[in-house]
Each structure stands twice: as structure tokens, then as C-alpha cells.
Chain A
Amino acid sequence: MEVSQFINEIADIIEADPKILSLESDFRESADFWSSLVGFALLTFLEDQCGAVLSIDGFLECKTVGDLYAKAQERQRG
């Protein structure tokens, strides 16, 4: 998945404007509203679309969109 598509997917899930979202964006702060459902939707996306199964602790360590992307990359590298 290309970076731009990854950002668009994240923007869709957190209901943010993809034009202003970047890898540096804090995804919790950027969300239209933050809730456990939104967090869960991100985990589901990372697992289903990127093959990255995150623990809750692993997810809580992530602050930015780039952190999520890095987690997805780690899975790809094996």
C-alpha cells in the first residue's frame, strides 16, 4: 500500500481531512472525535489490510500516522 493510500485510509477511519493529514499528524488529535471504536477500527484496518497485528500496548505507543505506518512496515519486513 502506498503512503498516500495509507493516509487516505487512516483519514477515512478517523474522519479527518486527508488533505491535511500527514505521517507527522497525531492521529488521536486529528480525529473528528476519538473513541475506543475509532481505535478499534484502526487496529482492524492494520490487521486486515496491512497484516500487522498490534497488541494494545503496541497501539498505545503509537502517536502519529507515521508510527502506524511503521508498524505496518515492520510486519511487511517480517
Chain B
Amino acid sequence: MMNIEFETAAAEDLRNQRSSLKMRFSSVGGMKFSGVCACVPRNEVDNMTSGAELFGADIENTIKATGVRTRRVCPPGGGVTALDLSVTAAKELLGNHSISSSDIGGVLFVTQTPDHDMPNNASRAAHLLGLSTACAATDTSLACSGYVYGLWLGALMARSIEAPLLLLAGENHSASTSPYDKSTALLFGDAGTATLLTPEGDEEWHFGFLTDGSQHDVLMVPEGRSRRPFNERSLEYKTWPDGGVRRPIDIHMDGMAVFNFVVRNVPGCLSSLMERNGVAADELDLLLLHQANLYMMKQVAKKLKIPLEKMPVSLDRYGNSSSATIPVTICSELQKTVSEKPHRVLASGFGAGLSISAVSMNLGPCVCPGVIEYP
């Protein structure tokens, strides 16, 4: 066989190419990841059954491609929300922790499925958890990149108010997912999580962010808010140009565009963050990725040359719960080990925005009751 070398200038540039999009970096010192708990609905959906009619003979291949075999979803028609799940997780966490509700000085709730447009989830959560009125409580609206953004914003808040803070991250996207749209029908699960951040110690958390709003429409809910208000046609299922059947208030996802953005940008972002902070890939204990799609996650890990054994997966049983997937994965896959010892971690969320967030930090030892069910 002949060996062919691709040593043209173009190929060389492409081989050495990092993302042409720029990142922003930030470091926050003096923070401790003190505890984490996740809560999922008791209702489990088996994708082989639920997707059989939509996908027919392709169902097994589709499940292999996404990696989601079962997922937990809130009962249809309302009644159980991300707020319920996250508050339940927080109660379990505080019940197992030396820090009590009276010590908490702040609540940050990451969600794109709040109970109401007004008021925010965080204020209600603070009340339900019996926190003092001397509490800073606010929501932040981000999807899959939301948890790492929450660690960053939560750390800044906790350092500023000099008090422990509860980071609640939860979603019930199942309520805005069309069962007739092949690109999303089998993907999303629901979950609520609680993470306790305490301003103590001398560790530094190093963050990186990338935002590309030019692709805002490849992962969105088109209708129901200010740009296109809810109207009488919002609940009508129709066939869209991409072939998907969904309502205007359902999640629309251009899977190829999201995949393209992730594989072309996330590895470079994570490499840049590691390089900036002097962390080599082989020094990492864990790669915690947002549980978007198993194939995509594997491609990211491979590009970073991080063994797949260091990349825990919860997607197969819990689905994609957006901002909650990273804490769900910690609770479901790492409960024992993070309870006992520290780990050098690289975590990253990526998705709607389009947005990438990443953090290099130590995780554990911390209080971790694991995954609990609601009710």
C-alpha cells in the first residue's frame, strides 16, 4: 500500500485548527462543592415501547444512536414540576448535611421550565425550604450549559454574600416535547437537583464560556413568549420543513447543527481551559459531560484523548434532563466515590444558545445522598 501524506498547507491548518470562536475565562477562589443530590420522577418510560410506533424497525438503531434506553418523566398534564423535584432534592441534601436551612444565604435556580413566568422559582424554593428572608434568590435561564454556569454564578454569589448557597438545577422538558418528532421524542428526561456551595477553603475553580447566538434557532421553543406570543394555534400539531411533527410550543432541535457545533467547538474549548490552567488530560480523574447524546459524548472524549472509562454516563437510564444532567450523573454514577475522596474533574455543558460552559475543579469529598425518586 502506498502511504499518502496530506501535507498541504490547507490540511496542516485544518489539523491544527482550534475553534475559531473565542472563549471567555474566569476563576473563582475559596469555594467548596459541599454536597449534591438529585431527584427524578418515579415514572419511567421505556423507549423501546414508547418509540416503537414512531420509529418502527429503526427503534433499536435509534436507541443505540442516542444512548437513551429509559428516561424519567413527570406525569403528563402537570402537577409535578422541576421546582418540586429540585426542592425535594434540596431537602434530602440538607437532611444529610451539617449545614442547616438557617445557614443558607442564597438560592440560584437554573431552569428553562419554571413553574411560572412570574414569580421566579428561586423565591418559592426559598420559602418551601424554610430559608430565612435574608436570602438572595434568583433564577437564571439556561439549558444544557446551565449547571456549570450555575456553579460559576453561585460561587460568585456565595463569595459575595459570605454564606452557603443552594444551586438548584431542574427541568421538565418532557412537557414541551412532541411525541411525534423523531429528533426529540426519545431524548428528554426530567430531573431536579440541589448542590450546596460553601465559601471556604483555598481551592480555585477555573471556568470557560463560549456563546454563539447566531445559531439561536437550532435548539429552541419557537412560540409562547414575547417574540411569538402564545395564541390559538400554538397547541396545533403540524409538519415542519424538517419533517418533524410538533406544536409551535414544543422543542425544535436541528440535531446536525447542534452536533456540528459541539464536535467542532467543545473539544477545543476544553483543551484551551486545561492548557490555560496547566492541567493535562491524563491528570484528570473524571470528564463530566452534559448527557446530550452518547455518540456525541464519546466523540468529544476521544478528541480530548480521555479514556471513556473516565466519562460516566447516566443518559441511558435518565435521558437528557438539560441543566440537570451533570449533577444527576454525579449522583447516579459517582455517589460513593465523591463521598469519600477528591477527584480532579473537567465538566462541561453545551446546548441551547448556542452555549458552552466548562469548569476545571476538584470534586469531593462531599455529601451525596445519590438519586431519590418523587414522590
Chain A residues within 8 Å of B, Cβ to Cβ: 1-3, 12-13, 15, 23, 32-38, 40-41, 44, 47-51, 69, 72-73, 75-76, 78
Q: How far is the CB of B359 from chain A (nearest CB, A)?
A: 26
Inter-subunit contact B3/A32 (CB<8 Å): no
Inter-subunit contact B263/A1 (CB<8 Å): no
Q: In the complex, what residues of A have CB within 8 A of residue B1's CB?
A: 3, 23
Q: In the complex, what residues of A have CB within 8 A of residue B8's CB?
A: 51, 76, 78
Inter-subunit contact B302/A12 (CB<8 Å): yes
Interface members, chain B 42-76 (any A CB < 8 Å): 61-62, 64-65
Whether, in the assembled complex, B15 has its beta carbon less than 8 Å from a beta carbon of chain A, the answer is yes
Q: In the complex, what residues of A have CB within 8 A of residue B299's CB?
A: 13, 41
Task: Give the complex CA separation of A40 and B17 in angstroms.
Answer: 18
Beyond A33-B64, A33-B65, A76-B11, is A40–B259 a contact (Cβ under 8 Å)?
yes
Task: Select which of B3, B4, B259 is within 8 A of A37 by beta carbon.
Answer: B259
Can you sample 18 A-B contacts with CB below 8 Å? A3-B1, A3-B2, A15-B298, A23-B1, A33-B65, A35-B61, A37-B256, A37-B259, A37-B293, A37-B295, A37-B296, A44-B263, A47-B14, A48-B264, A51-B11, A72-B6, A73-B4, A76-B6
Residue of B2, B4, B8 contacting most chain A CB atoms (<10 Å)? B4
Inter-subunit contact A76/B4 (CB<8 Å): yes
Q: Which residue of A lies closest to B296 (CB)?
A: A37
Inter-subunit contact A40/B260 (CB<8 Å): yes
Task: Select which of B5, B14, B64, B256 is within 8 A of A49 by beta carbon.
Answer: B14
Inter-subunit contact A1/B6 (CB<8 Å): yes
Whether, in the assembled complex, B280 has its beta carbon less than 8 Å from a beta carbon of chain A, the answer is no
Whether, in the assembled complex, B255 has its beta carbon less than 8 Å from a beta carbon of chain A, the answer is yes
Q: Which residue of B lies closest to A70 (CB)?
A: B4
Q: In the complex, what residues of A have CB within 8 A of residue B10's CB?
A: 51
Interface members, chain B 254-306 (any A CB < 8 Å): 255-256, 259-260, 263-264, 293, 295-296, 298-299, 302
Interface members, chain B 147-174 (any A CB < 8 Å): none
Q: Which residue of B lies closest to A78 (CB)?
A: B8
